[in-house]
C-alpha cells in the first residue's frame, strides 16, 4: 500500500461508529486532563503578565477574547471540512462532526462577542458598533444558530445532512471576510496583531500567555467536540433502536389482532 | 476594585459561566443518551449486528 493510503485507511476505519466510540472513550479524559493543565498554566501567565501601557488591566480580557474569536473561526472551518466529508467522501462521521460542532462554535462565538463588548466599553467608550469586524462575527453567530436549527429539524439526520453541508460551505465565505475585515474596511476594531504578514506586533511578555491560553481553549474545544460527537453517535443508535422497537410492537399488535 | 478591574472580572465571569453551561449540556446530553440506550437494550431491543454476534438473530 502507498504511504498516502495509510491515513486514508485510518480515516475509513474511524468511520465505524463502534470503533469511534472506543477511541472517544480514551481521547475525552486525555484531552480534558490536558485542557485543565494547559488552562491553569495559561491563566497563571495571563494574570502575571504585565499590564498594557495604554489599556492598563483591561488587556487581560485579550487572553480570553482572542482565543474565543480564533476558535469561532476554527470551528466553522472544521465544519466546512466536515461538509466536504459529507458531500465528497460520504464519510459516515462527517455529518456527526458537523452537527456536534455547531453548538460549541455558537457558544465560542457568543463569548467572543460578549468579551469583546465588555472590553470595548472601557476602551472605545461603547458596548457595540456595527463595523465590519463586529458585524461579520455577529453574522457568523447567526449562521451557527441557523445550522443548529437545520441539523435538528428532522428526526432522520440523513435528511438534513446534505442541506447542512451545502449551507456550511456557502457560509464559509464569511471566514475570510471576518479575517480581512479590519484591512478591507475602516473599523473601530484594531487590525491583526498576531496572525499577520511580518510577524506578531505584541510583546513576547503578552504573546506567550495569549498563545498558551489559545492552546488551552483549543484543547477545550477538541474535548467538547469529541464528547459531543460520541453523544451524537449514541443518539443515532438510540433512534435506530427506537424505530426497531416501534416496528416490533406494530408486528406484535398485528399478530394479536389476527 | 478599580472600574477597569470590574470589566475584567465581568469578562472572565461571563466566560466561565458560558463554558460551564456548555460542559454541563454536553455531559448531561451524553448521560441521557447512554441511559436511553441502556433502557432499550434492557428491553431486548438490539441491532442486527449485535444479535448476530451473540448468536441470537
**What pLDDT, on the 0 to 100 scale, is given for residue B43?**
84
Q: Which residues contact A178 (CB under 8 A, 6 or more apart)?
A: A73, A133, A136, A137, A140
Backbone angles phi, psi at A52, to 5 degrees: -75, 145
Residue pointed to by grid coordinates 486525555: A30
Chain-chain contact of B34 with A104 (C-beta, under 8 angstroms): no
Backbone angles phi, psi at A16, to 5 degrees: -75, 115
Q: Which of A250, A171, A227 is nearest to A25 (CA)?
A: A227
* Chain A residue at shortest CA distance from B4: A58
In angstroms, rounded to a whole number, what is the distance separating the alpha carbons of residues A114 and A103?
Answer: 16
**What pLDDT, on the 0 to 100 scale, is given for residue A2?**
47
Chain-chain contact of B11 with A121 (C-beta, under 8 angstroms): no
Most B-contacting residue of A17, A235, A236, A247 (CB-CB within 10 A), to test interface: A235
Q: Which residues of chain A are within 8 Å of residue B41 when distances are taken between CB atoms?
A: 241
pLDDT in tens, B3-43: 789 999 999 999 999 999 999 999 999 999 999 999 998 88
- Triad A253, A254, A258: Cα angle to 5°: 115
Which ranges in chain A belong to alpha helices (H)?
5-14, 17-48, 62-84, 94-124, 132-151, 157-171, 174-184, 204-257
**What pLDDT, on the 0 to 100 scale, is given for residue B26?**
97
In angstroms, rounded to a whole number, what is the distance separating the alpha carbons of residues A148 and A151?
Answer: 5
The count of C-alpha atoms lying within 13 angstroms of the C-alpha of A146, restricted to the half-sphere facing its C-beta, is 15
Q: Which residues of chain A are within 8 Å of residue B14 when distances are taken between CB atoms?
A: 111, 114-115, 118
Burial bucket for residue A226 (CB in 10 Å: 0-12, 13-18, 19+): buried
Q: Which residues of chain A are within 8 Å of residue B40 when distances are taken between CB atoms?
A: 238, 241-242, 245
Most A-contacting residue of B3, B6, B22, B39 (CB-CB within 10 A), to test interface: B22
pLDDT band at B57 (very low <50, low <70, confident <90, very high): very low
Taking the CB of residue B50, how many other CB atoms lie within 10 A of it? 14
Question: Which domains are delineated in chain A?
Answer: 25-189+203-239 (1.20.120)
C-alpha separations of A84 from A93, A157, A158, A224, B8 in Å: 12, 17, 15, 22, 40
Average pLDDT over all residues of chain B? 87
**What pLDDT, on the 0 to 100 scale, is given for residue A7?**
59
Give chain A's length: 258
Burial bucket for residue A72 (CB in 10 Å: 0-12, 13-18, 19+): buried
Nearest to A107 among B11, B18, B46 (CB): B18
Nearest to A60 among B8, B23, B25 (CB): B8
Q: For A10-50, give the DSSP string.
A: HHHHHTSHHHHHHHHHHHHHHHHHHHHHHHHHHHHHHHHSP
- pLDDT one digit per residue (tens) for chain A, 258 residues: 344 455 556 666 667 888 899 999 999 999 999 999 999 999 999 999 988 888 888 999 999 999 999 999 999 999 999 999 999 988 889 999 999 999 999 999 999 999 999 999 999 899 999 999 999 999 999 999 999 999 998 877 878 899 999 999 999 999 999 998 888 888 878 777 777 767 777 888 899 999 999 999 999 999 999 999 999 999 999 988 988 888 888 888 888 877
C-alpha separations of A16 from A12, A19, A20, A31, A166 in Å: 8, 5, 6, 21, 24
**What pLDDT, on the 0 to 100 scale, is given for residue A8?**
58
Q: Where are the domains of chain B?
A: 23-57
Question: DSSP code of A52?
Answer: B
**What pLDDT, on the 0 to 100 scale, is given for residue A1?**
39
Nearest to B37 among A122, A227, A238 (CB): A238
Q: Which residues contact B53 (CB under 8 A, 6 or more apart)?
A: none
**What pLDDT, on the 0 to 100 scale, is given for residue A74?**
96
Amino acid at each position: 500500500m502507498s504511504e498516502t493510503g495509510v491515513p486514508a485507511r485510518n480515516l475509513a476505519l474511524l468511520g465505524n461508529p463502534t470503533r469511534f466510540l472506543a477511541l472517544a472513550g480514551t481521547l475525552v479524559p486525555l484531552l480534558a486532563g490536558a485542557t485543565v493543565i494547559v488552562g491553569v498554566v495559561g491563566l497563571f501567565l495571563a494574570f502575571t503578565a504585565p499590564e498594557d501601557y495604554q489599556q492598563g488591566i483591561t488587556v487581560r480580557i485579550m487572553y480570553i477574547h482572542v482565543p474565543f474569536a480564533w476558535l469561532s473561526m476554527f470551528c466553522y472551518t472544521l465544519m466546512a471540512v466536515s461538509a466536504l466529508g459529507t458531500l465528497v467522501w460520504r464519510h459516515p462521521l462527517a455529518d456527526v462532526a458537523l452537527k456536534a460542532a455547531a453548538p460549541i462554535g455558537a457558544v465560542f462565538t457568543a463569548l467572543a462577542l460578549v468579551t469583546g463588548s465588555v472590553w470595548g466599553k472601557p476602551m472605545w467608550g461603547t458596548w457595540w458598533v456595527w463595523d465590519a469586524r463586529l458585524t461579520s462575527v455577529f453574522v457568523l453567530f447567526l449562521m451557527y444558530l441557523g445550522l443548529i436549527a437545520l441539523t435538528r429539524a428532522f428526526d432522520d439526520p440523513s435528511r438534513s445532512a446534505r442541506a447542512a453541508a451545502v449551507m456550511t460551505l456557502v457560509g464559509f465565505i464569511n471566514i475570510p471576510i471576518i479575517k480581512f475585515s479590519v484591512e478591507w474596511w475602516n473599523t473601530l476594531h484594531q487590525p491583526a496583531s498576531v496572525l499577520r504578514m511580518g510577524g506578531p506586533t505584541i510583546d513576547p511578555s503578552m504573546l506567550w500567555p495569549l498563545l498558551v491560553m489559545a492552546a488551552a481553549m483549543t484543547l477545550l474545544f477538541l474535548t467538547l467536540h469529541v464528547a459531543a460527537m460520541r453523544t451524537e453517535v449514541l443518539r443515532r443508535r438510540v433512534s435506530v433502536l427506537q424505530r426497531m422497537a416501534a416496528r416490533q410492537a406494530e408486528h406484535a399488535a398485528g399478530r394479536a389482532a389476527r | 476594585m478599580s472600574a477597569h478591574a470590574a470589566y475584567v472580572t465581568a469578562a472572565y465571569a461571563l466566560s466561565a459561566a458560558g463554558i460551564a453551561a456548555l460542559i454541563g449540556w454536553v455531559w448531561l446530553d451524553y448521560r441521557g443518551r447512554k441511559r436511553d440506550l441502556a433502557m432499550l437494550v434492557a428491553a431486548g431491543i438490539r441491532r442486527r449486528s449485535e444479535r448476530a454476534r451473540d448468536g441470537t438473530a
